[in-house]
Amino acid sequence: MESIFNKESNDSVIYRINKLTPETKPLWGKMNAAQMLQHCKLATDVAFDKQDLKINFLMKLLGRMLKKKVFYGGELKRNSPTAKEFIIASEIDFEKAKSELISNFSRFASEGKSSIKLMNHPFWGKMTYEDWDALMWKHTDHHLKQFGV
């Protein structure tokens, strides 16, 4: 099974990130490659407790109800809604976003489970290290597939 904490698995994601260029076009969605990299970087920042999310009560309830299905079910759906903090509408420096995402993602393998600093996700609720592993892997993989890598 693929894992963000496993060096070989982690390196395979970084290899895919490195295949992206500023000109890489999405197969679906509105983000360009730089915006997607920034979006994924911000999602990893949540695990490190460096990114706040403002989630209303109804959405918190929804997240907790869907967590197992989303984390451990099939693929993420295309064009799924996302937290407003993850919507990137501005122009982003591609190289900076790529470097920051690679740094964040490689941190999972180098530090292991101790890299995770937040065990109560604002949307998904109480998290285990296995939940973080599944979420970070599935989310990043989903967006790399979005860009054909």
List, for residues 11-64, the tens digit of each pLDDT value: 999 999 999 999 999 999 999 999 999 999 999 999 999 998 898 888 889 889
Per-residue pLDDT, 77:
85
Would you say residue 82 lies in a domain? yes
Q: How many domains does the chain have?
A: 1
For residues 124 and 71, give the distance between their C-alpha atoms in angstroms, rounded to a whole number.
10
Tell me whether residue 136 is exposed, middle or buried, using C-beta atoms within 10 angstroms of its C-beta: 0 to 12, 13 to 18, 19 or more: buried
Name residue 109's amino acid: A
2 belongs to a structural domain: no
CA distance 30 to 19: 20
Residue 1 lies inside a defined structural domain of this protein: no
For residue 8, pLDDT over 90 is answered with: yes
Residue 79 lies inside a defined structural domain of this protein: yes
Domain encompassing residue 121: 7-146
Q: Judge whether residue 81 has pLDDT over 80.
A: no
H helices present in the chain, as ranges: 7-18, 33-47, 57-72, 94-111, 129-146
pLDDT tens digits, one per residue of 101-149: 999 999 999 999 999 999 999 999 999 999 999 999 999 999 999 999 9
User: With 80 as the cut, is the pLDDT of residue 1 above it?
Assistant: no
Q: Closest Cα partner for 21 from 10, 11, 31, 32? A: 32
- Is pTM beyond 0.85? Reply is yes
Check residue 53 and give its pLDDT: 86
Is residue 137 in some structural domain?
Answer: yes
In a domain, 25, yes or no: yes
Handedness of CA 105, 149, 88, 65 (dihedral sign): negative
Number of neighbouring beta carbons within 10 Å of residue 59: 15
- 3, 75 contact by CB (below 8 A): no
Between CA 143 and CA 50 the distance in angstroms is 21
Kindly state whether residue 102 falls inside one of the protein's structural domains.
yes
Q: Is 30 a member of any domain? A: yes
